[in-house]
Each structure stands twice: as structure tokens, then as C-alpha cells.
Amino acid sequence: MNIGITVFPTYGGSGIVGSELGRELATRGHKVHFISYALPTRLCKLDERTQFHQVDLFDYPLFEFPPYDLALASKIFEVAEAQKLDVLHMHYAIPHATAAYLAREMYKPTRYLPFVTTLHGTDITLVGSRKSFLPITKFSIAQSDAVTSISQYLAQETCRTFGLGGVEVIPNFINAQDYQRRPNESLRASLAPRGEKLLMHVSNFRPVKRINDCIHTFARLRGAVPARLVLCGDGPERAGAEQLAQDYGLADDVIFAGQVPNIAEYLSVANLLLVPSETESFGLAALEALACEVPVIATAVGGLPEVVREGETGYLVPLGDIEAMAKRAREILTDERKQRTLGAQGRLWAVEQFNTERVIPQYEALYERLAASARR
């Protein structure tokens, strides 16, 4: 099939999922057209089956806020016509579903081009539910030919916030080959030169990720077990977290690794992953860690309980409960057998439930269904 995909290319989990989906579809023989303002960061390779179409943004003095949504809709229309797209897949409702709706309506006199909207989380829980966006978000989701969400939790939230049912749950996925434990000894030695245990966190350091909770937790482990904390990623909360680590006198043992190109390599040397988020509709980083045999300690919020199984692949703790997080971390770090058992079970669960062979066909079936009914 010829599939058009739009994502936010530089920031956030929805862009990663959309890009990796495109890559997987291309390896299965589809032709994938990414339509966005920049090349998605996780998309290293363009080829005959994976193409990128850049949205032209026109900076005119009258436009204090250049209308990206309109430029995107025009680009989708242009690509649909030139590439004979069969279906569009929009990741993140705002403004992508709205742009797809406009493109579909513009293209209707020629052909009906169905679009799927995949909801990722903050497009419902934070941004889409704001008064200024609610009516257009609700309208654009309702106009979608199919709506999917990445967890049961998010499907329920969509129903609660917008009164919209019929959302199909297709969870996020991992490529079990790319995400597996392959410890790189020199990386491990550089992060833990005295053989310390490594606690890890991976995110975009937005307030919702509560990265300070990682540092508070780490501070409570001090003395109990020689360890270091590695924070992968970057974002607005970084400076505050660096200050907090200094205030605790922990600056030498808290490593801000920045954006790391190969996250599986980092996860492969971790002893556990901390996910203290305030809300998380899925928690892709948690799934990636499980696939790399890393036990996860996460807050029992949003869709995280659908990814992390309490006592089996890690632990779920109440939001903001630093003591509980530190207690669970101590248990894992001081008991190598427990760490290995949780890790092995995590890998098994991740591969059984969320591997690409299981999930990608669900998207393919959905595209086929929509394209068939559009042809009719």
C-alpha cells in the first residue's frame, strides 16, 4: 500500500512510534511517505520505500503565527495526488487529524482518502482537553475514518473527555531484535567505573516526567548500595535537576547523558529503570527497558500498569511516593537473582505482548479495511 504518515518529528514518543511504524511497514513491502516539517529523528534511512515530504512553511510578516496546519493539509493533498496514497495515518490528534480532515475533503472530488488518527496521550489528557482546543480536537477525532489509542487507559480517557467511543486499542510495540540486552562493557565501565549499580531514566525531561523524583529516590539509596543514576534525554527540567543533585552532594554520581543515539545500548547496561511520571498513557521507555531485561519501577498511573506487571516485571508505586520507590530500588539492587528474574520475565512479557509481529499486522489490517471501504 501507499501510506502517508505524519508525526511530530523532533520531540516526544508519538514521533518515535510513528517513525518506527513507518520503518516496519517499509520492511514489509509498503511504500511509506512521511509528511512533516522535518525528517523524523528516528528515521535514519530514506530509500525507495521510505520517503520524506517536507511541509513548506512560509514566513510572512503578517503571520505572527505561521499556519502550519494549513501548510500541512496542502502538502498532504499534494502528496496524495502525486503518490496515489491509499491511506493516511496521523500520529497525535492536534493539529494532524485536523490537517488530514482538510486534505481528505479537498481531495474528495478526485478520490476518497481515508485517515487513521492514533491518539498518544497528551493530545487527549493535556492539550486536547483544554478549552481552546477541545471543540476542534473532538471534531477532528470524530471525522477520522478510524481512531486508535495506544492503551486501554487512553481509550477510556477519550470516551470520558470527548464522549467518543469506537476507539480501537493498538498498543505501542518493540522490535525484539533491535531492543535486546547486548551489554557494551566499555559503556558500562565509563558509567560505572567502580562497578556501581546503574539506575536509569529516559525521557524528554518535561514536568510531567518528574525527573526530580529520580534524584530524591537516588538520594535515599545512598549508603545502602554503591550506585549511580544515569538520566538520558534532555528538556526543560534538566537545569533544576542538576541543581538538586548538587544540593544533595550527589553531582558526581548523577550523570546527565543527554540525548543518546542508541537507547538500547544504554538500557543494556542498566540495573533498573525509574519512571516516576505524573501521567503516562503508555510509557514507551518502560517497554524498551523491559525488552532489554531491565526491571522497571513506575508510578501506578495512566497506562503504565498495562506495560509494567506488578511484582513480575518490576513494581508500581503511588505517584510521588519516593520512599516506596527507594525501597523497591534497594530490593532490586541488593538481590541479583531478583533483578535477573524480573528482567527475564520483563523480556518475555514485552516480546509476547508487544513485538512488531503481533502489533504491525493490526495496523495493516486496519489500513486494508479502510482502503477497501474507500474503494467501495
Least Å distance, CB 112 to ligand GMT, is 28
Is 120 one of the binding residues for ligand GMT (CB under 6 A)? Answer: yes
Number of H helices, E strands in the chain: 15, 13
Q: How many CA atoms lie within 13 A of 18 on its CB side?
A: 34
Least Å distance, CB 353 to ligand GMT, is 15
Judged by CB under 6 A, which stretch of 138-146, 273-281, 328-336, 356-364 contacts ligand GMT? 273-281
Is 276 one of the binding residues for ligand GMT (CB under 6 A)? Answer: no
Least Å distance, CB 204 to ligand GMT, is 5
3-state helix, strand, coil in the chain (%, to 5): 45, 20, 35
Is 9 one of the binding residues for ligand GMT (CB under 6 A)? Answer: no
Contacts of 14 (CB under 8 A, 6+ apart): 7, 8, 91, 92, 118, 120, 121, 123
Q: Where in 180-219 is the site for ligand GMT (CB under 6 A)?
A: 204, 208
CA distance linking residue 18 with residue 321, whole number of Å: 33
Is 40 one of the binding residues for ligand GMT (CB under 6 A)? Answer: no
Nearest one of 25, 242, 355 to 4, comparing CA atoms: 25
The residue (of 180 and 204) whose beta carbon lies closer to ligand GMT is: 204
The torsion region of residue 163 among left (phi > 0), alpha (psi -120 to 50) and beta comes to left
In the three-class reduction of DSSP (H, G, I as helix; E, B as strand; rest coil), residue 273 is classed as: strand
Q: Which of 150, 219, 270, 294 binds ligand GMT (CB under 6 A)?
A: 150
Contact (CB, 8 A) for 250 and 239: no
Strands (E), 9-70: 31-36, 50-54
CA distance linking residue 242 with residue 182, whole number of Å: 29
Is 282 one of the binding residues for ligand GMT (CB under 6 A)? Answer: yes
Is 121 one of the binding residues for ligand GMT (CB under 6 A)? Answer: yes
CA distance linking residue 295 with residue 346, whole number of Å: 7
Is 92 one of the binding residues for ligand GMT (CB under 6 A)? Answer: yes
CA distance linking residue 97 with residue 146, whole number of Å: 11
Q: 158 — phi, psi (to 5°)?
A: -65, -40
Is 17 one of the binding residues for ligand GMT (CB under 6 A)? Answer: yes
Binding letters toward ligand GMT, positions 343-362, x by CB under 6 A: --------------------
Least Å distance, CB 232 to ligand GMT, is 13
Is 342 one of the binding residues for ligand GMT (CB under 6 A)? Answer: no
Q: How many residues sit in the footprint of ligand GMT (CB under 6 A)?
A: 18
Least Å distance, CB 261 to ligand GMT, is 18
The residue (of 280 and 293) whose beta carbon lies closer to ligand GMT is: 280
Structure letter (DSSP) for residue 312: T
Judged by CB under 6 A, which stretch of 6-14, 73-81, 137-145, 309-317 contacts ligand GMT? 6-14
Q: Which of 284, 332, 342, 371 binds ligand GMT (CB under 6 A)?
A: 284
Least Å distance, CB 280 to ligand GMT, is 4
| Longest CA pairwise span in the chain (Å) | 70
Is 140 one of the binding residues for ligand GMT (CB under 6 A)? Answer: no
Listing DSSP states for 337-365 in one string gives: HHHHHHHHHHHHHHHHHHBHHHHHHHHHH
Is 14 one of the binding residues for ligand GMT (CB under 6 A)? Answer: yes
Q: Which of 122, 140, 148, 268 binds ligand GMT (CB under 6 A)?
A: 122
Is 148 one of the binding residues for ligand GMT (CB under 6 A)? Answer: no
Least Å distance, CB 332 to ligand GMT, is 23
Q: Where in 154-183 is the site for ligand GMT (CB under 6 A)?
A: 172
Structure letter (DSSP) for residue 27: H
Q: What separation in angstroms does the CA of 222 have from each of 77, 225, 274?
A: 57, 7, 16
Report the interface residues with ligand GMT, using CB under 6 A.
Answer: 12-14, 17, 92, 120-122, 150, 172, 204, 208, 279-284
